[in-house]
A = this chain, B = another copy of it.
Amino acid sequence: MIRKVVFIGAGNVATSLSKALIDAGFEVAQIFSRTKESAEALAMYLKTSYTTEKNKIAEADLYICSVKDDAIKDALSGINFNNKIVVHTSGSSEMDILKPFTSHYGVLYPMQTFTIGKNVDWSQVPIFIEANSNNTTNELMLFAKAISPIVTAADSKRRKSLHIAAVLVCNFTNHLYAMADRLLKENNLEFKTMLPLITETVEKIKVISPKAAQTGPASRHDMKIVNDHLSLLSGNDHKIYELISKAIQDEQL
């Protein structure tokens, strides 16, 4: 039974997840990070302790590694986990990246976007679980269900598909919002004007498929408008407008 947790990493995911765990009654015993500032900031927020030294990492039932995928191996190497469970929270890294560090390992992938300063309702966060044994899978499922009702087992291949889809519907749509924000500001218009349209775009795909919901100049092949808009855009904006317009038309074929 997992009761005591230590975090390796102190970024957006660690901050939101550690807080949710404390709210659910778990003990977050320690935060480890290579940078004192981030370790200390999160530890203060949680009212717990921190360390920047690998040989001073506390004992726990579960070690949660939330660092960027590039950094997972470096972050974990040199730590003695006493064969306790170690998980990472990445959508795309293989589970087996953890094999060198313990005999009990897995993945706890919360499919949500986390930014420090914006609280997330964890009852709405789908969590995908994978582990190297049935026993550890069961322990992690039970653990995850204490913070979210939407917990699913998913192997690395399915998790990677989910992660690509998540990048598209979250990170990339957010970039389109940022582009719109910038273009509107250049014309002394406010981004908040777009909120009803953004909301309705999301409401539509709850009731009809995104393909059936597609509207706009590209989908009705109104090339006068498409070319007119292109003439007002440059750089990446121009390339993105051109490519997605083409993709919308290709998708209809």
Residue numbers of A with Cβ under 8 A of B are 12, 68-70, 90, 92-93, 111-115, 117-118, 120, 124-126, 150, 157-158, 160-184, 186-189, 191, 193-220, 222-225, 228-229, 232-233, 236-237, 239-241, 243-244, 246-248, 250-251
Contacts and interface: CB of A to CB of B under 8 A. Distances in A.
> What number of copies of this chain does the assembly contain?
2
A49 B177 CA distance: 42
Given A173-B176, A175-B210, A177-B210, 19 more contacts: A12-B215, A90-B225, A92-B228, A115-B213, A126-B193, A126-B197, A158-B188, A163-B229, A164-B229, A165-B191, A171-B215, A173-B198, A174-B210, A178-B214, A179-B247, A182-B211, A191-B210, A236-B243, A236-B246
A187 B161 contact: yes
A204 B113 contact: yes
A170 B216 contact: yes
Contacts of A157: 187
A160 B229 CA distance: 8
Classify the secondary structure of A's interface with B: helix
Most buried by B among A167, A193, A202, A204: A167
A240 B68 CA distance: 23
A221 to B, nearest CB: 8
B178 A164 contact: no
Given A169-B194, A178-B211, A201 B113 contact: yes
Nearest to A173: B173
A202 B124 CA distance: 14
